[in-house]
Each structure stands twice: as structure tokens, then as C-alpha cells.
Structure 1
């Protein structure tokens, strides 16, 4: 009979049982991790809202120009032909998330996830307009009045303003932000741009203002698969039951040991500050987003009681069981090695990517004989100069003896220019071994021959 994995049943609690029926009302708190999150969030918000307004050589510094199929990142311009680099970047992000999860659980969710960051911002607005936890609970339960309408109106007005700025900024990364703002202010923007600004405004308002923790609990898959990624050495937010239990209220001047109690005074501050409303003392749960609010709240209570901090802290299951902390372990080293290798490969790929792209399409006609008895095939070539400045290129064809390409010897393309050419390739009949033979078209930068692109095509002839 197969061995079963032991499980602990945690009773489902009514997260809003001590509050109004409308949901969770996190209490305000202070502490190291709150300050760390504010500093990191300020930096991330600053990057998000400010970067879109930066200029670089007369254009927007960061812009995914879909209509022109260009992606500008300061001095570099990427094209659809560079899709492998984008794919590599996404894979790096995935392995980075795996690595950080093995190291410290859902720390990404607590400190960097856009859903969490905007939810914290909306909660701050809610506290500024409606008061702290108890005041918001009373307001939610109170009947509608002028005071309630005014406070709710202030809150939702600020929420909508933040959402509008968020949606406008997001669309500004795909459509030049300055013309977009001018067109919206003069009601002359296109229907597509106006729709997407409205869409992302509504998405921000609904997700951060109304859904909040429901996105983390029911919509985000990350919490579901983190349990298979962490191990006994992952640093996760943990309650030290050996130190804290048995729980119970007591006076500050009374030693807990004399009453047979642990350090936990059962104040529920850790529950009241949690944005998802869980009790971390029940153990690690998929609902925990790793924000460390419970650590700050518990540390403040420990300071007030004169106890040591760390009753709730970042700790591994091995540490809680009395074992040593193991940072370097096979899974961690493996993810780190793959991550470093892929970052190095991406940097090398960006630095050495060819600044020219070539596409080849063979004409539908099979072949023909020219005046000197050679076999001709026709092709349509598309050349793209991916550099921001004008470059000179040489075009050639190889693969068959006596192969001749009727095309300009050199081509000058402006920065970002795409040019289509109709070319003819001829070869003597005796150089063909089959009905179809491979030929290769090569385009190379005259100033830097390493920047080249090569494409294979078919050269057809008669059956001998």
C-alpha cells in the first residue's frame, strides 16, 4: 500500500466575521518590512510612471511601436526578427521566479507583483479617506449618510484617478505618450487608443480596488504551484510554535513561563494586518503572499511586551525544527546556474545580434532559359537595416558552381529602412544535379562583415 503524504486540516475561518460583510479590513502598521516595501514600491512606481516620458535621440526612449514593428529600449531597437531574444528574456524571468521562490517563497508577490503594489496603494488611499481598520468597519456597517457618501466619493475618485494614470501610462508604452495625451485631451484620439486606455483603467480599478486579495486567492496560479517548488530550506514566513504555544493573554509584568504560556499573547494583530486575512499561526498557506505584514505587527507586540523579536519571521522548516540553515543545495544551485548561464547568453546575443535581416521568397514560376542558355530563377528579397543609422550592404548568392546574381553590388539602407528587391539568379545547366538544388542568399554589412544574415531557398531546373 502506497504511503500517504501527511496533511494537517486547517478549519476554514470567516475572514470577515469580526468585520463588515464586505470583506477584509487590514489594520495599518509600521515596521522594517513595511519600510522596505514602501522603498521598493516607490522605486518601481517611479520607473513605471517616469520611464515612459523619457526621450532618446528625438524619440520616446522605451516604446513598443507595434504599428511599425519596432521595440525601442533607449539606444537599442529590436525587430520581429529578434523574437528569440524576447523569448529568452521571458524564460529568464521564469527561471528567476523559480529561483526566488526556492529561496524565499512568495517574496515576489509581497514586494514586486503589480497586483500587490497597486492593492497596497489603494489601501493607503482607503485609509487616508475612510480611516483605519475600525473606522472603515464601522463606516461599512453604517447606513448611508452624507458623511458616508462624501468619504466613499473621495476614495473612489482617487482610485479612478490612479487607475486612469496607470492605464494611460501602460498604453503609452505602445503608443507615443505625448501625442496620446494631447489627442485624449482634445477628444481627437482614435477609437483603438481610447478603448485600451479605458480597458486598463477599468482593469486597474476593479483588480486593485474591488477584487484585491481575491485575485491572489482565486485567480493567480502562482500560489498553487509554489508548494511544489519550495523545500524544507526555503525561507518562508513562519510562526515559531515551539516558542509561541501555548497561546494566551497575560499581563506585561507576569512571566509567561509562570503561567505555562508561550510568547504568543493571542492578540490577533498578525491576522488583522494581513491583506489576505489568514492566520499565519496555522502554518504556511497558499493564501500567504509573503508580504511580512504579520512579522512587523508581531515584532511591535514583542517590543511592547519586552520579549525577543522573531516569533513570526522568515525561517525554513529545517530551522524551525532545530536544524541548520542550508542556503546552497542542489535545487538552488541548479536554478542559479541556469539563470546565470541564460543571462550571459542573452547579453551575448544582444551584443552580437546581426543588424541586418533578410527574407527570401521564390517566384511561383519554376525556371526559364536565358539568351546564353543558362537557367534562371526569380526571387523577391526583403532587406531590413536594424541599425539606427544608414549602412551599406553587399548581397550575394552561393551554393552552385557558376551561380550569378543579377542585383546591385552594394545597397545603402537608412536606419530602420526595409527594402524589397526583385532579383534573378542564373546557373549553367551542368551545375544542377537534381530538379531542385539549394542556394543561399547572403547579405553582409560592408563596415562589419560579422553582421550578416543568410537564408536558404530552392533553385529549380529541368529533369535530366
Structure 2
């Protein structure tokens, strides 16, 4: 029996992992002008989200999307289901606004206003407040579980739960009157739909902003994938000036560049440590970059300490780095066909929405032909058609409506009160009416007629609506 000497011809067992879980990124808190700007944007967006639902307007919640009643209120604007065209216009404005801004200045939306970025930043504030800065958080994660670690984690998760729960309740408060919802939640008398919306949104806030964080931006957000289609060499993006920074290397603060023969990058990796998605901007433009500019703040701080000029990492364009023009030449960035095209569509959509809202009718009438009675003879011997008027009052005031019809020399309209019909606010009323004419005027076939409706809000000016219909002759 032969034996194989140890250390020779022995196969070693290898474990190949097909999937490796993502490691928690603990970014260092960046300080600087862009961090301050990001803070202002977070405060502004969260003021709108958390505070605006508490405002009142004319005795009701200022902004309320009442889905069960199919009515939306935005301060003095009251929109019904017939106004969904404005929702379509709003989506078009949002889409082309994003395209236009991305073509000009990259992913500023992602870095400063995206809800995923905003709530991830809030969770990072809680981490920093309770556990300390990056090094302390890394050290705490490596520690064994003990009373101190349990206490710190408990406090952190309690704060996270409060933020997520209140976020969920506020979200539900955009669709249910929040002044009624909050007491009902704490007294356990809130409706099931509102409680589900609050719990679901609060849970998703915890899952995306605390648990998944940068993984949402890296693997779930489609915007990161198609943004490159809107970028060109004149798009303003965060870039590392390779020509100025390389070759990189550590050096003493007092060392002159002529002696060390190195670029301005001292390879401190601070730009990597502050990055919320954990990339190295020095590797070039990457789809993972959300444009938060934390690396710019970190690098500028190091440049100040080294007495080097700022801007080693900065907002710039590929053309500027290639010396085709300078950062100050704004016309090269703005006067481009793509920017002008997106801007023109955006301006047209905004103009259409403003014009539509300013000229919209607060009362709408649908004329529905009664198919059960095509034509009949009334008591006067006239030919008569029956119609149903569906009157929709989208305003918050009652409105009085009168009507008349034309199309024949002799024609009458019956079914509406002579002094007009009062339609309650936010109500839909269906009224059967009859239109009659002398048989000699309406021979066999379809004849065009016109309804003219006049309505007036309480204390307001009269408005006229013209609707076309058809009269079936004998």
C-alpha cells in the first residue's frame, strides 16, 4: 500500500459561492456646501410631506386625494374624475422635466430629492446620532452581543420605528383627513384601508431606506440603467480630474510637487468613505453614482488641508476635461439640440396644463340618448326624443343650471325646472329631459341639435356650456 507524502498531489476542497450577500456600507458623514444643500432639500421635501397635510383651506384639508369619493383637492383647486387629463399632463411634465434636467446636470434628482435618497439619509442620521461616526459603527458591528450593544441597537431601532410609523401615518393622511386619522390610529378606531396604507408604507420605508439602502439604487431603480441614454459629453456630472490627480500617492503636507512628482490626489480614500453607494469616483463615471456630491465635499476638505486648489473632484463635463471649453462656458452646456427639444416639450406641457386649469369648467354635462325610446309622439302631436343629462358638479359650491336647445325653428325642452336646477357641491345628478319638434321639421333620420347650458356658482359669474347631440326623426 503506497502513501502520498503530505503536501504533494493533495487536492484541496474549494467552496465556490454563487451568491454573496451585500455588505452593509457605513458611509462617513460629509461636511461642506453640497452637504448643506442636500440638508436644505431634505428639509424642504419633508416639510411638504409631513406638514402640508395639516393645513386647512376653506374648512377642509388643503391637500387631499379622496379616492373613495373620486375627488382631489389641492388648496383652492377641486378636481373630479373628469379632470384626469391633468394627471396625465402632470406625469408628462414630471417625465420630461426629469429628462431635461438629467441631460443638463445628470442625476441631481437622485442625489438631492429622490425619496429613496432622502429617507436613506435620515436613517444614516439616526445611525450617526446613536452609534457614532463610521469607525465607531464598523467597530460596533464587529463586537459580540453584550448589554451595551443591545442598548445602542434598541435605541436606534426605536427611533427608526418612530420615523417609519409616522411616515406611514402621514402617507395615509394624504388620502384620508389627517386630523381625523391620527386620533383614530391611536384609539384603534381607524378604518382598515387607512391602517393598511399606513402600515404598508411604513414597512416599505423601513425595508428600502434602512434595510436595503443603496441596493435599491444599484439593483431596483430603472433610472440608473437608462440615464446613460440621456448623457452626452456636455452633461454636467461628478468627475475626477485624472490629468490633475494622477499619479496618486501619499505625501507630507510640506512636500512640494516638484520633489514628489505626484498628482494632487493623496490617495486618502475619503471620497470612497463618504460615498453612500460605496463606489470610487476615481474609476470614472459609473451608473451606481447617484450624484450626491459627498465625494466633492470630502475631497475639497482634503485639498484645503493640503493647500491645493479645490476641484480635483467636481461637477464638470467630459468636454471640459478634454479642454474643449471651460467650466464657465454655460452656452455649450445649454444650447444643445437635446436640451432644447426636451425643454420645448416640457414648456408646452406646462403651458397646456396652466391653460387647461385656468379655463376648465367646474360643471360638466354629459348628454346620453335614451336608447329605449328612439322617437315618439307627445300629447301635442310633436315628435319627441328622450335624453338623460348627467350633470357633474366638481366645485365645492352648489350651482344652478338652466338649459335651452336649438336646431329647428320650432323646438322645446322639458324636464328641467324653468328657474333652473340646483346641483349640490361634489355631486353627480342625472335628470331625464325630453326634446320635441313639429313632425314636418324632423323627417326620417338623424338631425343635429345643440344644447346650451348656463350655470352660475353662488356669488359667481355665469358660464356657458355648448354640447352637440342628435335628434331622431320619424
TM-score by length of 2: 0.89
- Residue 81 of structure 1 corresponds to 82
- Residue 420 of structure 1 corresponds to 430
Structure 2 distance, partners of 1:433, 1:320, is 79
Contact 2:171–2:197 (CA<8 Å) still a contact in 1? Answer: no
Structure 1 residues 340 and 257: alpha-carbon distance in aligned structure 2, compared to 1, 3 A threshold: farther
Structure 1 residues 273 and 408: alpha-carbon distance in aligned structure 2, compared to 1, 3 A threshold: same
Alignment coverage as a number of residue pairs: 443
Matched, 1:372 2:380: yes
- Residue 389 of structure 2 corresponds to 381
- Residue 343 of structure 2 corresponds to 336
Q: CA deviation at 1:434?
A: 4.9
Q: CA deviation at 1:367?
A: 2.3
- Residue 123 of structure 1 corresponds to 124
- Residue 225 of structure 1 corresponds to 226
Q: CA deviation at 1:428?
A: 3.2
Contact 1:270–1:295 (CA<8 Å) still a contact in 2? Answer: yes
Contact 1:400–1:427 (CA<8 Å) still a contact in 2? Answer: yes
Contact 2:104–2:236 (CA<8 Å) still a contact in 1? Answer: yes
Larger radius of gyration: 2
Structure 1 residues 338 and 433: alpha-carbon distance in aligned structure 2, compared to 1, 3 A threshold: farther
Contact 1:354–1:452 (CA<8 Å) still a contact in 2? Answer: no
Structure 2 distance, partners of 1:454, 1:197, is 44
Contact 2:61–2:177 (CA<8 Å) still a contact in 1? Answer: yes
Structure 1: stretches of 5+ with no match in the other structure: 1-16
Structure 1 residues 456 and 144: alpha-carbon distance in aligned structure 2, compared to 1, 3 A threshold: farther
Q: CA deviation at 1:393?
A: 2.1
- 2:402 aligned to which of 394, 415, 420: 394
Q: Which has the larger displacement, 94-103 or 382-391?
A: 382-391
Q: CA deviation at 1:381?
A: 1.4
Structure 1 distance, partners of 2:376, 2:258, is 100
1:246-325 → structure 2 map (5 Å cutoff): 246-324=247-325, 325=329
Contact 2:247–2:263 (CA<8 Å) still a contact in 1? Answer: yes
Q: CA deviation at 1:411?
A: 2.2
Contact 1:22–1:140 (CA<8 Å) still a contact in 2? Answer: no
- 1:408 aligned to which of 409, 417, 420: 417
Structure 2 distance, partners of 1:402, 1:382, is 25
Q: Which has the larger displacement, 398-407 or 176-185?
A: 398-407
SS in 2 for 1:431: coil
Structure 2: stretches of 5+ with no match in the other structure: 1-19
- 1:353 aligned to which of 360, 365, 383: 360
Structure 2 distance, partners of 1:416, 1:48, is 26
Contact 1:64–1:174 (CA<8 Å) still a contact in 2? Answer: yes
- Residue 445 of structure 1 corresponds to 455
TM-score by length of 1: 0.91
1:186-225 → structure 2 map (5 Å cutoff): 186-225=187-226
Structure 1 residues 299 and 436: alpha-carbon distance in aligned structure 2, compared to 1, 3 A threshold: same
Contact 2:406–2:451 (CA<8 Å) still a contact in 1? Answer: yes
Structure 2 distance, partners of 1:440, 1:81, is 22
Structure 1 distance, partners of 2:238, 2:441, is 72
SS in 2 for 1:384: strand
Structure 1 distance, partners of 2:291, 2:433, is 61
Structure 2 distance, partners of 1:159, 1:40, is 21
Q: CA deviation at 1:118?
A: 0.6
Structure 2 distance, partners of 1:86, 1:49, is 22
- Residue 50 of structure 1 corresponds to 51
SS in 1 for 2:54: coil
Q: CA deviation at 1:454?
A: 4.1
Q: Which has the larger displacement, 346-355 or 237-246?
A: 346-355
